[in-house]
Structure 1
Amino acid sequence: MILLFCSAVIFSTKAQLLKNVIPVNTSFNDSLNRIVNAYLNNYRHIQGKIFQEQSDVDIYYSTQSVPGASEALIYRFHSVEDSTASWQAVMYNGDNYKEAAKVYKNTYRLVNKSRLNFGNGKAASFNGTYTGPSEDLRFTSSILYTQEESGPYQYFIANIDLLNNFGNWEVRLSLNKKKDDREKY
């Protein structure tokens, strides 16, 4: 009887319950939390030396990264309307599509399972829809949103991209502010 009840509960609940039951990669989760919390200070205290200056953006090395990333950068755009920065990590760079697709899927899974602490006393997470990759596409993106209805994390997102640049595949994880494209402004 108990087994039947447990089975019914598991099958009738949404993915959120399973998300809470499946173990989280603590190393990735802790690293992601440090970066997410650095967003409150516009990533300034994890900003390293300048990587590249351009007319519309300054790019800095990040002193914080997530496991598996080959590099992490902070983008500071020269905008009078929005001065928030963007954090970005390269999770894969190479010519093997299958490996890139595997890293893309795994990065989505790790971000989706992570438990966030926004410092406001309540647990948070990223939620979104996984977009499956295809070798025929040059660009695939999965966006995960916070469920915050107000405050600094209201429009905070995690964006996982799989890019094909003439046979060179790259997987990127970006953390930044972006209004939900599904909303009407």
Structure 2
Amino acid sequence: MKLNLFLAVALALCVACGFLIRPQPSRPNVEFLPEMVRTAAYKAYSANPNFLDGKTLQAPPPDTIPRGFHPVDYEATETGAIRAGEELSNPYTFEDLAAFTRGAFVFRTWCVPCHGGAGRGDGTVAMRGFPAPPPLTSEKTLTLKDGQMFHILTYGQKNMPSYASQVSEDDRWKAILYVRSLQRSAQATQAPAPQPPLTPSPSGQEVRK
């Protein structure tokens, strides 16, 4: 009996609420914690009361690394480049076709404007009066180790700027792999043509076949 009375009262309250609380399309609903839905947008260099220094643009916390990157533990000096050459090696080989193909794409995108398609330093930038870079197929460049080339791509050298922000670490190694292929092709082209063997002639002099 008491249960039925309770249910009857509850039903009556629900019906009463239905009549008392009716939707009003002309008025917005009541929002709970609206600042959680629509946060205030601050411009990068504007003041911001939410931080102790009052600035919106915050420096990364100390000893943190951006996602997808890790620090290069070499100074931007010639000594650092030499040490990088001794300690770093390319994780990719010519057998990795995907890495080679990606390296070719990276080279054509970022390197060709200055170095040219074959790496001879005859890119469009150099052709328009900017100091030409040394050929990537020169004897000096051939002596550079992969780690040194990686250091140059990371920090830059002389007229060449750093490409660390444009080219990921992984793509830098793949571009170096492609540069090595250009050097191989240049060496094969410059190699002297094989000479036929000498054979003795009836007169006793050696002649070529």
Q: TM-score range by the shorter chain?
A: under 0.3
Which of the two has greater helix per residue? 2
Q: Which has the larger radius of gyration?
A: 2
TM norm structure 1: 0.22
